[in-house]
Amino acid sequence: MTIRVLIADDQEMVRAGFRMILDDAADIDVVAEAADGAAAVALARELRPDVCLMDVRMPHLDGLEATRRLAGPEVADPLRVVVVTTFDLDEYVHTALRNGAAGFLLKDAGPTLLLEAVRAAHRGDVLVSPSITVRLLAHFSEAAPVIEPAQPATPLTDREEEVLRAAARGRSNTEIADELYISLGTVKTHLSSLQDKVGARNRVELAAFAWQSGRMRD
């Protein structure tokens, strides 16, 4: 199955570089480009690409608001948006997360991570680059007081707490299975249960919950 991608960035050279890398992959097809956030939202709603690569700073409509309109909590049928940023530690990341971003990618990450980001988002796995995701969440956690989210109506089990912390540290499903001596299927079952209990739509929101609730400061 070909992964259809939209690239949104106000720099033509960045779009051209991303297109060259993505079009060279047999399983990826760039279906559109946008030079500003408003055009990106319009094209994404029209074409319904599998993955949108969204720059943060763009004219007319910034990438954070564009992400909210395409993937935010109020969107009935959200698209998969990977936010692309120049900075790995800035105030925009938390907003992007809250606005439904399915992953993060640094512009200088290189071709391998760009392809990984697109494929991971298409699979529904937001663990695009564990070190980046964990570092961003940890930075936000340290820079702000603990915000206590509403606790789940159904308490987390001890095993779910372990899986949650492992996922928030950037562990893959396989790594969690090895670390906790459980099967891959069991990991997926726990992650699904965690999302239901916490009200998270994806792995990034689960990680944010873990960091912001103070679970990662122990």
Residues forming a β-bridge with 7: 33, 53
Handedness of CA 190, 148, 100, 56 (dihedral sign): negative
| 29: three-class secondary structure by DSSP | strand
* Claim to verify: residue 8 and residue 90 sit in the same structural domain: yes
Which carries the bigger pLDDT value, residue 195 or residue 151? 195
The CATH number of the domain holding residue 73 is 3.40.50.2300
Task: Tell me, yes or no, if the pTM score tops 0.85.
Answer: no
* Claim to verify: residue 29 and residue 113 sit in the same structural domain: yes
Q: Which domain holds residue 176?
A: 146-217
Which carries the bigger pLDDT value, residue 124 or residue 22? 22
* Claim to verify: residue 19 and residue 38 sit in the same structural domain: yes
pLDDT category of residue 70 using cuts at 50, 70 and 90: very high
* Claim to verify: residue 57 and residue 152 sit in the same structural domain: no
Residue 164 CA: distances (Å) to CA of 65, 132, 161: 28, 18, 5
Last residue of a domain, one of 141, 174, 192: 141
Asked if pLDDT for residue 93 goes beyond 80, the answer is no
Which carries the bigger pLDDT value, residue 98 or residue 83? 83
Average model confidence (pLDDT) across the chain:
85
Last residue of a domain, one of 141, 166, 182: 141
Whose CA is closest to 68, among 83, 57, 58? 83
* Claim to verify: residue 88 and residue 160 sit in the same structural domain: no
Residues 79/60, Cβ–Cβ less than 8 Å: no
Asked if pLDDT for residue 177 goes beyond 60, the answer is yes
* Claim to verify: residue 130 and residue 156 sit in the same structural domain: no
Asked if pLDDT for residue 145 goes beyond 60, the answer is no
Last residue of a domain, one of 81, 107, 141: 141
pLDDT in tens, 9-33: 999 999 999 999 999 999 999 999 9
The predicted model gives 36-58 an average pLDDT of: 96
* Claim to verify: residue 112 and residue 169 sit in the same structural domain: no
Asked if pLDDT for residue 42 goes beyond 70, the answer is yes
User: Which pLDDT score is estimated for 130?
Assistant: 53
What is the number of domains present in the chain? 2
* DSSP code for 150: P
The predicted model gives 93-101 an average pLDDT of: 80
- The helix (H) or strand (E) run that includes residue 4 is strand 3-8
